[in-house]
Structure 1
Amino acid sequence: MQNSRVPGRNFLFVPGPTNLPDRIVRAMAVASEDHRSPTFPDLVKPLFPGLKKVFGTEKGHAFIFPASGTGGWEAAITNTLSPGDKVLAQRFGQFSHLWIDLANRLGLEVIKQERPWGTGNDPELIEETLKADKNHEIKAVFATHNETATGVSSDIAAVRKAIDAAKHPALLFVDGVSSVASLEFKMDEWGVDVIVSGSQKGFMLPAGLLLMAASPKAIDAGKTNKGRRAYFEFQDMIAQNANGYFPYTPSVPLLYGLKESLSILFEEGLDQVYKRHHHLAEGTRAAVAAWGLKTCAKEPKWNSDTVTAIVVPEGYDAVKVIETAYKRYNLALGAGLSEVAGKVFRIGHLGDLNELMLLGAIAGAEMAMLDNGIKIEAGSGVAAAQAVFRANPLLKM
């Protein structure tokens, strides 16, 4: 294996962190400044309506914390729930698993429903469980919108319909870390009470900003709950944000980056952003089919438009494919996690990305598989993706 530096740019195709647009890199190259200055609100105040537009909410309150998506899970729980509260969560991948683990650590009683990895949320089972909860002991339903580990997306609107059909008052929390700003999200229309996301995926920023929003119902729950918090206190943020400030030191360069990120998203148009991600995902899925392989998503309805998890044939090690891609071709692919470790590799196709960039990743994945003895036809995946891209071009002549 070649261990010396490979010339050219590293092809980053993990499902986050994603590629940084040059515009965002330049926007973040700023000198330190006083985050208590009279002009600082000029930067901060416009960020919140921009975030609300991406989240699809007019009623909710947007938050920006210096943290990651995991911090968002903790903020959601501690601001709305009390230790000992019951919550309902379905486990079908590494990140839905980690959310459940965090809830347990914070003292919640989690009703965990196992689902096959490669599938997503089961609204019928949620409705059935909530109907059986006659005393409304379940205080919240946790739903992962996009399970990054398996390349699966779930229908969040259907989860809300299930809650409503059960005539249950439970809050709806959604993990949208690898979906928001890449996949359509309608917080108000879908009846989401808390949406959690992060800066390092669809927002095309480095990790470090927790981006989230909470409904009035969720914020009201915090007035009577007994969850203990300090750093993640919603009310401290609400009070300071109203004037364009934060209760503690923010990451100023990342705020400038977020300002530029929102500009880029709105210049392309959110509908076009979602269309582009679906288009790129369709090309990736065509490549997988041409290789004669399967995705981890068990049915087309589960397909994610931000990441595709590819199952390697039995007897082969996905870890070696990933290692070859990185060391020989300067291509970073996502690894399989937990139950699918060694069984899948993942191609992330979200953020600042176009057709030719993705074709490079598909070509690199082909070579890495061939180098490890996986019997596919060289060029077959690239050709299949090209056919998809040429048949329905995003950019018209």
Structure 2
Amino acid sequence: MTLSNGRSYLAIPGPSVMPDRVLREMHRAAPNIYEGEVVDMTAGLIDDLKQVAGTRHFATIYIGNGHAAWEAALSNVVAPGEKVLVPATGLFGMGWAEMARGIGAEVEVVDFGLKDGMDLGRVQGILAADEAHEIKAVLGVHVDTSTSLKTDVQGLRAAMDAAEHPALLMADCIASLGCDRFEMDAWGVDVMVAASQKGLMVPPGMGFVFFNDKAAAVRAAMPRVSRYWDWAPRAEPEAFYQYFGGTAPTHHLYGLRAALDMIVREEGLEAVWARHETLARAIWAAVEAWGQGGPIALNVADPAKRSHAVTSLHIGAPHGTDLRRWTEANAGVTLGIGLGMSNADDPQGDGYFRFGHMGHVNAHMVLGMLSTVQAGMKALSIPFGDGALDAAIEVVSGA
């Protein structure tokens, strides 16, 4: 006998839970890609994507995942041999740095570790010392999915301005868009990348690159840009296929239309951000209570540096892996692995796991997940403090 039968809950930090409404919109025969409905609705998708990103400038769609968006963004503004600065706060900052190396860029990585986030004063000092302005772009991850660290993007822009440095500010919002507050234009971000499978609640397969006039001018001066990655025809297409560099991802577009209707036109972006914040605080309250009598702890100590979309936790090896396997096998709740958190004492990362709480998620899902985790700790004889579920309920009931 297992209690996992029934509808499962994928509580990992992407792909996120997809609304039935999104899936229904995708479940259709292939449409005409030369005229008609899918052609007519695409301009509206671009407008709504800009609203979610907080920009009045340019939005482009690529058929690919977040890694594709990384490469697309870099290919338009960084030439081989040019230098970029990557202040990294986890695995995905390092990954974007590797992508930059792959296109021939010279990469300076400043590793700020896995728990404390960026030292913006240090970033400012590095930029101020670059008097020749060799650094062409600063690559910052808004929310690193591995560590759940959230970067102060406004502060990063302020550090660049204080150093009087002209580099582009590029932000990875793959894990945060539609979950944590982000305002591209107001925060002075020049290029932003995102993807479909997290806060936007659509299956993996689409990457998005947003850019402003400053970045467009850099692109115009590039010696060459790969024909496929070139954002110019995608941003201002003369023909429909140029939006996508070829055949449109038709069914993803239908799903995206439904998702953006839910985010922009119905719930509203401010309410979406508030919902994610409240549910995140409920999770933090529960974990902090558990930690009073057991080994579980939030990876990020400072609440201001915690993501509202994903929470990384340490519970000690092998408890992280054992707990994930118990919740999935016995209760139908799949938790995220401790990605990028291994160390010499825990080479497989068995002491870590993650909660994904992004996109189509609500109070009963989060409270059910927390109850399941507590049941798993009890079943596995992992000690924990009392009052965790009450603490989470207090947050939810006070919202």
Band the TM-score falls in, shorter-chain normalisation: over 0.9
1:43 aligns with 2:41: yes
Contact 1:291-1:377 within 8 A present in 2 as well: yes
Whether the 8 Å CA contact 2:11–2:357 is kept in 1: the answer is: yes
1:110 CA displacement: 0.9
Post-superposition offset of 1:301: 2.1
Residue-by-residue CA offset, 1:286-324 (whole Å, 9 max, x unaligned): 000110132001322211111111210x45431121111
Matched, 1:131 2:142: no
Q: What is the rounded CA distance, in whole Å, between the counterparts of 1:320 and 1:106 in structure 2?
A: 40
* Total equivalences in the alignment: 387
1:297 corresponds to? 300
- What displacement does 1:239 show? 4.0
User: Aligned partners of 1:155 and 1:26: how far apart in 2?
Assistant: 37
In the alignment, the residues of structure 2 paired with residue 229 and residue 245 of structure 1 have an alpha-carbon distance, to the nearest angstrom, of 14
CA contact (8 A) 2:286 2:392 kept: yes
Structure 2 counterparts to residues 74-93 of structure 1, below 5 A: 74-93=71-90
Q: Which moved more, 1:297-306 or 1:233-242?
A: 233-242
Does the 8 A contact of 1:44 with 1:244 survive in 2? no
Correspondence for 2:220 among 218, 223, 226: 223
* Structure 1 residue aligned with 2:27: 29
Long gaps (5+) in structure 2? 343-348
Give the Å deviation of 1:102. Answer: 1.2
Q: Tell me if the contact between 2:50 and 2:58 (Cα under 8 Å) persists in the aligned partners.
A: yes
One-letter amino acid of the structure 1 residue matched with residue 208 of structure 2 = L
Distance 1:103 1:245, change over 3 A: closer
TM-score of the pair, normalised by structure 2: 0.93
Q: How does 1:349-388 map to 2 (within 5 A)?
A: 349-377=357-385, 380-388=387-395
Partner of 1:310: 313
Per mean C-alpha deviation after superposition, the further-off stretch among 215-224 and 248-257 is: 215-224
1:358 is paired with a residue of what secondary structure? helix
* Secondary structure of the structure 1 residue equivalent to 2:220: coil
1:268 paired to 2:290: no
What SS does structure 1 have at the residue aligned with 2:35?
coil
Paired with 1:32 and 1:319, the residues of 2 have a C-alpha distance of: 41
- Distance across 2 between alignment mates of 1:152 and 1:85: 28
**Are the structure 2 counterparts of residues 222 and 245 from structure 1 closer, same or farther at C-alpha, using a change threshold of 3 Å?**
closer
Judging changes above 3 Å, is the alpha-carbon distance between structure 1 residues 170 and 95 closer, same or farther for their aligned structure 2 residues?
same
**Alignment check: 8 A CA contact 2:12 2:334 kept:** yes
1:38 positional shift: 5.0
Give the conservation status (yes or no) of the 8 Å contact 2:89–2:141. no
Moved more, 143-152 or 225-234: 225-234
- Distance of aligned partners of 1:371 and 1:39 in 2 relative to their CA distance in 1, 3 Å threshold: closer
Specify the alignment match of 2:333 in structure 1: 331
What one-letter code is carried by the residue in structure 2 that aligns with 1:367? A
Q: Does 1:94 align with 2:91?
A: yes
Q: Distance in 1 between matches of 2:189 and 2:213?
A: 11
Tell me, yes or no, if the aligned pair for 1:44 and 1:245 is still in contact at 8 Å: no
- Residue 285, structure 1, aligned to residue 287, structure 2: no
State the shift of 1:243 in Å.
5.4
Show structure 1 runs of 5+ residues with no match: 393-397
Alignment correspondent of 1:254: 252
AA paired with 2:301?
A: K
CA distance in 2, matches of 1:242, 1:183: 34
**Hey, what's the Cα distance between the residues in 2 that align with 1:24 and 1:338?**
31
How does the TM-score come out when normalised to structure 1? 0.93
Aligned to 1:200: 197
